[in-house]
């Protein structure tokens, strides 16, 4: 049932996101940035972005692998669902929430984790929301994309710090 809900929400989001591209007088923005960059710079940017996502997913997988099995709310390999475009726009929320909940459970037996507050839940939800708003094909979308990128980098850094604490505790 949970998967069906995620698919329905993803489909609705996708329909909302592509609607402006099918209206007369396409609104500038969206994928037009790639056209403005040119082919080679766009390819380099896309490869760099997906490589960064791979390292981000690897950080999450490491986090879950370092958490005791009984405290995990998600399988470590499931973080790679971040690559399932456009499904990832919704799944990212669940990944962030599950990792935060797993860390909260782990904190009960690892006092060193208490200093991390909500374990990046607010940052993770923030970049996930900004990612969705970045689909708006205008300046608001571009600003949202930039904000999302900044929050994503900060979140990734926090996860790295959490992983160091988890490694030192094991």
Closest CA to 123 of 91, 99, 87: 99
Say how far apart CA 170 and CA 167 lie, in whole Å: 5
HSE-up of residue 67 (Cα within 13 Å, Cβ side): 28
The predicted pLDDT at position 24 comes to: 58
Range of the domain at 156: 2-169
Could you give the C-alpha distances from 51 to 10, 41, 81, 86, 157, in angstroms and in order? Answer: 24, 15, 15, 18, 16
More confident residue, 27 or 70: 70
More confident residue, 37 or 159: 159
HSE-up of residue 3 (Cα within 13 Å, Cβ side): 1
The predicted pLDDT at position 58 comes to: 98
Give SS3 for 133: helix
The helix (run of H) or strand (run of E) holding residue 16 is helix 2-18
Structure pTM? 0.83
Q: What is the mean pLDDT of residues 121-147?
A: 90
The predicted pLDDT at position 42 comes to: 78
**Domain count along the chain:** 1
HSE-up of residue 44 (Cα within 13 Å, Cβ side): 5
Say how far apart CA 16 and CA 138 lie, in whole Å: 14
Which DSSP state fits 86? T
Q: How many residues does the chain have?
A: 170
Whole-number average pLDDT of the chain: 87
């Amino acid at each position: 049932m949970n998967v069906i809900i995620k698919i329905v929400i993803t489909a609705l989001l996708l329909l909302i996101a592509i609607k402006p591209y099918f209206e007369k007088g396409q609104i500038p923005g969206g994928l037009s940035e790639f056209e403005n960059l040119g082919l080679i710079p766009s390819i380099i940017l896309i490869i760099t972005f997906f490589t960064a996502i791979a390292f981000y997913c690897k950080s999450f997988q490491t986090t879950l692998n370092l958490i005791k099995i009984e405290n995990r709310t998600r399988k470590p390999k499931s973080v790679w669902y971040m690559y399932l475009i456009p499904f990832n726009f919704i799944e990212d929320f669940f990944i962030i929430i599950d990792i935060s909940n797993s860390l909260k459970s782990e904190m009960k037996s690892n006092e060193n984790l208490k200093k991390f507050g909500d374990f990046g839940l607010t940052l993770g939800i923030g970049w996930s929301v900004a990612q969705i708003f970045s689909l708006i094909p205008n300046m608001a979308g571009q600003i949202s994309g930039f904000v999302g990128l900044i929050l994503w980098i900060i979140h990734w850094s926090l996860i790295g710090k959490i992983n160091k604490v988890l490694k030192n505790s094991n």
